[in-house]
Amino acid sequence: TGRNEYEVIGTKGTIKVPFAFRPDNNGGVGKVITQVADIVREENIYGDLYRLEVEHFSKVIQMNSNPEISGVSTINNMRVIEACYHSIQTGELIEMK
């Protein structure tokens, strides 16, 4: 069935996202769990994430407006993903600027 979660481990804490790609398998509730030292914070995200994404995209087209996510934000996300791949391939710690 595949994995439906991810975890990010950093020098200051962790981020865990169970049901990351299929929150409908958890009654439609997405979760984000962060931990820094002994402090754990859990947030629930409600709603059909895919439907909300399509509705937002449709609204942007109908209103002839800009999406909430900018092109710059998208490019920066891709830079982080590329740095992750590079780190995996080389074993190096990548510092983002």
Q: pLDDT digit string (tens) for 16-67?
A: 999 888 777 778 888 999 999 999 999 998 877 778 889 988 999 999 988 7
- Is residue 72 in a domain? no
- Is residue 26 in a domain? yes
- Give the three-state DSSP class for 14: strand
Total number of domains in the chain: 1
- Is residue 62 in a domain? no
Q: What are phi and psi of 31, to 5 degrees?
A: -130, 145
pLDDT at 2 over 70: yes
CA proximity to 16, closest of 26, 3, 7? 7
- Is residue 18 in a domain? yes
Residue 36 to residue 13: CA distance in whole angstroms: 4
- Is residue 52 in a domain? no
Domain of 35, in residue numbers: 1-47
- Is residue 68 in a domain? no
